[in-house]
Amino acid sequence: MGKLVSIFVCGVQKGGTTSLFAYFREHPSLSSPSEKELHFFDEETVDWSLPDYSTLDTFFLPDDGDKLRFDMTPIYGFWPPSIGRIYAYNPSAKLIFLFRDPVDRAWSQWCMEYGRGEETLSFADAIRTGRSRIINMPPLAPDRRIYSYVERGLYAEQVRRVLELFPREQVLFLRSQDLLNHHRTTLARIAAFLNISPFPETGPKHEYLQPHIPLPSNAIRREDQAFLADIFRDDVQAFARLTELDVADWSTMKEA
């Protein structure tokens, strides 16, 4: 293998990774890929018994010197085999996760999929009866990428999967709202974790805006929020113990 990718931002979807990518692209010590999401380690057409890692090199400039290469693909944390594949590729890699309140995250994902035309159910139906679309599917079925509004928000299992392989000092867990509301402090934590110089101060990034699309509702309904909070609450509490993140201000917990 040639030069390895040494930094992976593994989630979560709709958690602020597009803004983080904009910050990463500005840092002189980081080598940005040609695309934000490389989707290499969640690609099921790869022969994972003998993967061709040279594919990763094609996303980076060949003369990036000693800059650190990174891959920012949010599904890695959710897609079951991805973390193990990353570990097999580079067990010394550092992993970063941005976590968002799972209720808010689910709503944002549904808005995205509805806007793309991938989803036809209302949000209320998608998080209730709509879950039957993937319950009996194989764990790596393509539809799990689309209809996983609830499943992607069950963070505790995802964190356990990471910590079973990577030592805690190689993993950084963050809250997406801290990058949004306190970007300087959050970027300072990331720079210290990666052992690089401070990020240049070029102002806050708000890279992803929800597209202006006709939705059945322009806000999550109170009853849907409460329904999801009941599903997520125990998992969020376990997640908080594992990550030591403060989630008291998440709407999931406020519904208790």
d(CA 162, CA 169): 12
The pairing of beta strand 30-31 with beta strand 171-175: unpaired
How would you write the pLDDT of the chain (256 residues) with one tens digit per residue?
679 999 999 999 999 999 999 999 999 999 999 999 999 999 999 999 999 999 999 999 999 999 999 999 999 999 999 999 999 999 999 999 999 999 999 999 999 999 889 999 999 999 999 999 998 899 999 999 999 999 999 999 999 999 999 999 999 999 999 999 999 999 999 999 999 999 999 888 876 655 556 666 667 899 999 999 999 999 999 999 999 999 999 988 876 5
- pTM for the full model? 0.95
d(CA 179, CA 24): 13
> Is the backbone peptide bond immediately before 12 cis, with ω within 30 degrees of 0?
yes
Q: Which two tokens stand for residue 141?
A: 């079925």
Give me the residue spans of the domains in the chain.
Answer: 5-254
**pLDDT on residue 251:** 86
Handedness of CA 222, 226, 232, 236 (dihedral sign): positive
Tokens 């022969």 locate to 47
3-class SS of residue 77: helix
List of residues 6+ apart from 4 with CB closer than 8 A: 69, 89, 90, 93
Calculate ∠ Cα 141-146-149, nearest 5°.
115
d(CA 64, CA 98): 26
**pLDDT on residue 32:** 97
Cβ contact 236:250 at 8 Å: yes
**pLDDT on residue 256:** 54
**pLDDT on residue 87:** 98
Cβ contact 78:149 at 8 Å: no
Q: What's the CATH class of domain 5-254?
A: alpha beta
Tokens 């997640």 locate to 239
